[in-house]
Amino acid sequence: MITSIAITTVWSTDQERDVAFFTEKLGFEVRSDVPMGDTRWVTVGVPGQPDMEYALMRPDGPGLDPESARMLTALVTKGVLGAGALRTDDCRADHRRLADAGVEFVQEPQERPYGIEAIFRDPTGNWYSLTERREGLDMSKPWG
């Protein structure tokens, strides 16, 4: 039986730069960093949430043919791919803190039916929703 999502991929064109982004700007911690031949296995996660990690994977790493790697790199760096939603208890305060730290926001905090959301990009181009869930929201029922 599947019990949880443990690791999800975030595409990284420069693992060293992206590790610094996640740790220094977002406050994540490195969970693993293992050399693997021409590449490395590196994961980061939110402190206090040990059961979920982002694997910072190079698009030109193992598993993709060269043409697919080029196409994926082009899509990621263009800013087309989302890498998930990060929950916060204060979207506006975290937006200010992260923007002051140099994080590129493509959408300022805005009211949504589900709460307050801002959108930012990592240095590779992946975008993330920074979301403060609306109090009392029952996600099992239609919004509105």
Q: By three-state DSSP, how is residue 49 classified?
A: coil
Has residue 66 been placed in a domain? Answer: yes
Could you read off the pLDDT of 12-39 as tens digits, one per residue?
999 999 999 999 999 999 999 999 887 8
Residue 82 has pLDDT above 80, yes or no: yes
Question: Which domain range does residue 61 map to?
Answer: 7-133
pLDDT at 38: 77
Has residue 106 been placed in a domain? Answer: yes
- In SS3 terms, 61-98 reads as CCCCCHHHHHHHHHHHHHCCCEEEEEECCCHHHHHHHH
Has residue 27 been placed in a domain? Answer: yes
**pLDDT band at 141, cuts 50/70/90?**
low
pTM assigned to the model: 0.90
- State what percent of residues in the chain have pLDDT above 70: 94
CA distance 46 to 65: 32
* Among 86, 99, 66, CA closest to 127: 86
Has residue 37 been placed in a domain? Answer: yes
Has residue 144 been placed in a domain? Answer: no
| DSSP summary character for residue 142 | -
CATH of the domain at 102: 3.10.180.10
pLDDT at 144: 55
Report the number of distinct structural domains present in the chain: 1
Has residue 1 been placed in a domain? Answer: no
Contact 78, 122 (CB under 8 A): no
